Structure 1
């Protein structure tokens, strides 16, 4: 077989077994590990940092299908350099490698020679003197940052933070307290602890909180994986994306947003959704109208995962009284941003593939569940200033045009009236939209189409396809791609534009959407019309009503949040057009993710409407990754990474997967016999002995039993071809499942 590291050459593997143990995990009970002289695919080890060494083999990553860890023989340097961190003139810490394993030791100076051990004097904090000196400056804000490990501390200091780290020993709360007391006495008013992404990080954070409490010092705990989602296990600022200045800039934003908690509690940096008064009335699945399993996927999306901190806080504040959750609220704001980006603003995943950063998005909810208020608060109000400016500009142009042409009596002798270029458009038909987009093309401006009831637009498109010109559906499909348009009519003459940037926001009721999708096409989306939309269900729960009068503080906070969102919208409208490229890590994740969707889409048993959706997932995810990256650009400015990073792509693909699962529930489709048999065989193939036809027949129902051994063999071939399992034996044909089916 060809391996990811072999450059296409064939590598001969032998399976693990009783006489051939896996050199990494020592597995002998089954053949799940694969071994060759230059590469080991270990079934047991996938969750490690690149470079970790096990039994003389170095971890280099995870296989493309995610089932095995890749290990190559570790070739350590003859003598790896020791790293020395000085704590004082007589105290230091040493980092070194022994047998391929990272070790540390503390030393103290005795009679000019370094001796092992901490010695009689307590170790200070790493960079303690620098922190004490920094706190003495007049412009000090009193904030000190604490990281796990000297390396992370040094990176933070390079990025301009006042940072310290504990020594590698003596870390109990009682031993930390005197160090924290010295910081407090020097003027430290707040300690921010950045916990590594692992259990050890949580344990040390707890010790830090207790130590700060003993010293009477206010402490805030940030989890590194909340600041930089997607970090590897054990990761922190040293594994975060972007230059050091970008990493520390993001931490400062978090510090400005987060409250100053008391010392005692360990407050997570994540923002769990506030409890609702109706929480006991219905489960998440009931409020969304989906299965419990699908509803559980929403829990992964928090405001701070979806948006940068300041933007996230503003969106959360503005939607606080609405029934929305983080996913529906953030996507509503993001589609509004996407509709304000100049023509030519695109996201590129490779040399030959790029798409406009626009979105076709619909909120799905029953009547009366506050769809329109969410649209007003998160789409229309942020752009209100832009719309006002556009109207005033058009009014001035019209007054000037009338003044210039007041003496021309014949209409046909006057030049054309100036046309208004508006960021938002709520009512149109195919012809008027084409006229409008001609003007937008001339000025490079985008447009956001808004429909309170999307069903009207979709039914009009459907009716036009049946008994009209058929132009409306074709136009809808082309606008999504940002394509140009040329039309010639006898009365209207020539309508043409070379490019466009169109986003679409609408609201629709679940049963109306179900009826449209499963109408005359019988669930067949041959044109990909439905696949172009992201349908997001809005939780069906009561509004959060407050009986008391708002305080001045609450009023000011809401006004500030609304002003913040308006600032982001106006900044997005001023961004020059450009193409944003994926980073290498982001591209690898994106391609691996889409390969799995393609494999499922190409299964003969996949219903056509689901196939269309799966084949469009890459276009949706790339657009989402682009607008998530632009959100970072709006907040961080020049400090934002140049390229779309792994974090944005991973979040975008997770969003698409979640919304795809929810949308699939709208499609009324009878499962084909082929897919029914594949699911049955795959489920039985999870047992250690695998699944034969006789076992499948014995455990099958009336639909399964008549299918026969030939159909069973075809089902096995399809499952194996798509990476869901393998042939464990040819006589009799036996199937073993390796991972869950995605469809």
Structure 2
């Protein structure tokens, strides 16, 4: 045997011995996996196997022993894939061709059938996937190409991602971006098509991250609005705040629901000539009437609140009015009879008018006529505000101006209606208050996705009542009806008054006015601009009503002051800010183009249940048109958890979400 033959035999023997040792070790690891060893033991054995394989591949020349090296590499890869440590076929950016070739490489051991130039991309891809555990094997491959690994190590997956993210953050033109990525491909030896694909994914991820931050800000704004509350004792006299707070507690309602219901009712009791001169220089005058909307689901105690605070106490005033009207009518008829007996052509005295304290159903034209007919205000009271807006122009084929007339009534304006037969309505001042309830889904249909161009919804002080369970008290009680009736009688008896702010309150009102005007011009959302535009007026209206409530619940033997002080203005500002938060919350939940409403439904459901929820629990809370798939709901679970607004457990179809109370308290 020649020296060359001996050397070749020795080399083949050594190679075969290493091959046998590696195969034995691979089988041992496979047996260890099948025996379900601990994770730590398995990972330690994998690391040892990687070192042996790396040393072996580094000791041979890849250009001559390539099939054997590939087979051993494949054995290690297959063990890692068996354990679920690798998922080569799901690597982002891998083309279908690469997937097919890598499938052959991993499972069919056909590397010896491929030319070395065809295999280069697969070996480079394998190194990127399998990491530094195969550095020596990759070094051997690079040496066969006449390169070193030090240059290649610079372009790891993390470095490539970092470079592509830098490109994404630059203000490159389309051509400059393509040139920059092409240059990166040349330097890194990554395929340019793959870099473009990864770049597109990175841009999508960055956009999604920005969108998620925006969505999180909206949700936190909604949560903050839902958490905001008003202490009634800081707004009302204690002898009125205490029973209203107790009523809200028994019904498990927000105290603000009782407060705004009271304000809406009181605002309709003034004489039509009563007003607040808020700024003398500009003759800025405000009528006292308010538009109040209670937003709550059906069976959420809206009707009992309206009865307790408005219908029942106003019913006592209505009974008094009926008695007065009957007496005046009897006197009037006697007077007419006497005058006619003396002179049948004599002019009769005007017929007494019966005051309407509240009404529940009307048309736009009838509402306008009655509002201008009486010297006192009146209250439109409705369990469903939708009925009010549905009745506008109902008798005019939708071609009238009822809605515009209603909006003018908010400012206390009168009406002059001209018909063919002449002037029908002719009044200078009105005082119409609105107090009604509406369901969230109905309100969403009315205002969702629409600009509030005429400021109709900005005129309303909405309060959202979450879905809560009330309790039934079996003892105690409140004599609320008599107390409120006494309050309402006192305010109704006041003459027409022109109120003003005292000097301190005037300065503070100016500051509040200037602030909301700055917010208005900076606000990008048209509907919210309308809200800010009505806020200063709402502050003045609320301050006027709080002023008369304080007087009526105090020492009524003293005449009411015509100057409104800080004790009424500061709570009014607080309430106006609360109103802004409420409408922001509603608009945020009614935005069809935003993810926030969907996530809020999940948060509200999870909080109300107080337990882990699944996708099937969430889906029925959406309408059929908006209902997301189960997979979309589960993705929403993950998004909320990533935002830090809850926790998830389980995987796949068993994924669950929980809203923990400490998230609400953050």
Normalized against structure 1, the TM-score is what? 0.45
Q: Which residue of 2 aligns with 1:359?
A: 290
Q: Which residue of 2 aligns with 1:648?
A: 568
Q: How big is each residue's C-alpha offset from its partner over 1:138-171, in whole Å with a ceiling of 9 and x where there is no partner?
A: xxxxxxxxxxxxxxxxxxxxxxxxxxxxxxxxxx
Aligned to 1:540, the other structure's residue is in SS state coil
Looking at structure 1, the residues matched to 378 and 237 of structure 2 have their Cα atoms a distance apart, in angstroms, of: 25
Q: Which residue of 2 aligns with 1:446?
A: 377
| 2:413 paired with 1:483 | yes
Q: Which residue of 2 aligns with 1:623?
A: 541
Looking at structure 1, the residues matched to 544 and 414 of structure 2 have their Cα atoms a distance apart, in angstroms, of: 21
| 2:524 paired with 1:577 | no
Q: Which residue of 2 aligns with 1:312?
A: 241
Q: Which residue of 2 aligns with 1:587?
A: 506
Question: 1:602: how far off?
Answer: 1.3
Equivalent in 352, 356, 371 of residue 302 of structure 2: 371
Q: Which residue of 1 aligns with 2:444?
A: 514
Q: Which residue of 2 aligns with 1:665?
A: 585
Say if 2:372 and 2:427, in contact at 8 Å, map to a contact too.
yes
Change in CA separation of 1:484 and 1:322 when aligned onto 2, cut-off 3 Å: same
Looking at structure 2, the residues matched to 434 and 629 of structure 1 have their Cα atoms a distance apart, in angstroms, of: 28
Looking at structure 1, the residues matched to 294 and 221 of structure 2 have their Cα atoms a distance apart, in angstroms, of: 15
Question: 1:491: how far off?
Answer: 5.6
Looking at structure 1, the residues matched to 394 and 515 of structure 2 have their Cα atoms a distance apart, in angstroms, of: 36
| 2:270 paired with 1:341 | yes
Equivalent in 388, 405, 411 of residue 457 of structure 1: 388
Equivalent in 598, 610, 614 of residue 532 of structure 2: 614
Looking at structure 1, the residues matched to 387 and 266 of structure 2 have their Cα atoms a distance apart, in angstroms, of: 24
Looking at structure 1, the residues matched to 575 and 365 of structure 2 have their Cα atoms a distance apart, in angstroms, of: 34
Matches within 5 A, 1:40-119: none
Change in CA separation of 1:419 and 1:431 when aligned onto 2, cut-off 3 Å: farther
| 2:323 paired with 1:392 | yes
Say if 1:517 and 1:666, in contact at 8 Å, map to a contact too.
no
Task: Report the structure number with the largest CA radius of gyration.
Answer: 2
Q: Which residue of 1 aligns with 2:38?
A: none
Looking at structure 2, the residues matched to 526 and 446 of structure 1 have their Cα atoms a distance apart, in angstroms, of: 27
Equivalent in 468, 481, 486 of residue 541 of structure 1: 468
Q: Which residue of 2 aligns with 1:228?
A: none
Looking at structure 2, the residues matched to 418 and 368 of structure 1 have their Cα atoms a distance apart, in angstroms, of: 41
Equivalent in 633, 636, 641 of residue 551 of structure 2: 633
Equivalent in 426, 436, 457 of residue 370 of structure 2: 436
Question: 1:509: how far off?
Answer: 0.8
Change in CA separation of 1:394 and 1:290 when aligned onto 2, cut-off 3 Å: farther
Aligned to 1:619, the other structure's residue is in SS state helix
Aligned to 1:654, the other structure's residue is in SS state helix
Q: Which residue of 2 aligns with 1:501?
A: 431
Change in CA separation of 1:501 and 1:319 when aligned onto 2, cut-off 3 Å: same
Q: How big is each residue's C-alpha offset from its partner over 1:20-70, in whole Å with a ceiling of 9 and x where there is no partner?
A: xxxxxxxxxxxxxxxxxxxxxxxxxxxxxxxxxxxxxxxxxxxxxxxxxxx
Say if 1:314 and 1:562, in contact at 8 Å, map to a contact too.
no
Change in CA separation of 1:642 and 1:390 when aligned onto 2, cut-off 3 Å: closer
Matches within 5 A, 1:201-350: 291-298=222-229, 301-350=230-279
Question: 1:613: how far off?
Answer: 0.9
Aligned to 1:581, the other structure's residue is in SS state strand
| 2:518 paired with 1:599 | yes
Aligned to 2:354, the other structure's residue is in SS state coil
Change in CA separation of 1:633 and 1:432 when aligned onto 2, cut-off 3 Å: same
Q: Choose between structure 1 and 2 for higher RCO, CA contacts under 8 A separated by at least 6 residues.
A: 2
Normalized against structure 2, the TM-score is what? 0.50
Say if 1:632 and 1:640, in contact at 8 Å, map to a contact too.
no
Gaps of 5+ in 2: 1-218, 595-666
Question: 1:642: how far off?
Answer: 5.5
Question: 1:398: how far off?
Answer: 4.4
Looking at structure 2, the residues matched to 481 and 613 of structure 1 have their Cα atoms a distance apart, in angstroms, of: 15
Looking at structure 2, the residues matched to 419 and 374 of structure 1 have their Cα atoms a distance apart, in angstroms, of: 30
Change in CA separation of 1:350 and 1:510 when aligned onto 2, cut-off 3 Å: same
Question: 1:643: how far off?
Answer: 2.7
Change in CA separation of 1:399 and 1:618 when aligned onto 2, cut-off 3 Å: same
Change in CA separation of 1:331 and 1:438 when aligned onto 2, cut-off 3 Å: closer
Aligned to 1:636, the other structure's residue is in SS state coil
Say if 1:290 and 1:662, in contact at 8 Å, map to a contact too.
no
Looking at structure 2, the residues matched to 305 and 404 of structure 1 have their Cα atoms a distance apart, in angstroms, of: 52
Say if 2:498 and 2:562, in contact at 8 Å, map to a contact too.
no
- Give the alignment's Cα RMSD to 1 decimal: 3.4
Question: 1:641: how far off?
Answer: 6.3
Gaps of 5+ in 1: 1-287, 673-743
Equivalent in 356, 371, 379 of residue 422 of structure 1: 356
Change in CA separation of 1:450 and 1:600 when aligned onto 2, cut-off 3 Å: same
| 2:448 paired with 1:530 | no
Larger proportion of helix: 2
Looking at structure 1, the residues matched to 593 and 511 of structure 2 have their Cα atoms a distance apart, in angstroms, of: 27
Looking at structure 2, the residues matched to 489 and 394 of structure 1 have their Cα atoms a distance apart, in angstroms, of: 30
Looking at structure 2, the residues matched to 460 and 393 of structure 1 have their Cα atoms a distance apart, in angstroms, of: 32
Larger proportion of strand: 1
Say if 2:358 and 2:379, in contact at 8 Å, map to a contact too.
yes
Q: How big is each residue's C-alpha offset from its partner over 1:604-638, in whole Å with a ceiling of 9 and x where there is no partner?
A: x6121111111111011111111111111112333
Equivalent in 468, 472, 482 of residue 563 of structure 1: 482
Say if 2:539 and 2:573, in contact at 8 Å, map to a contact too.
yes
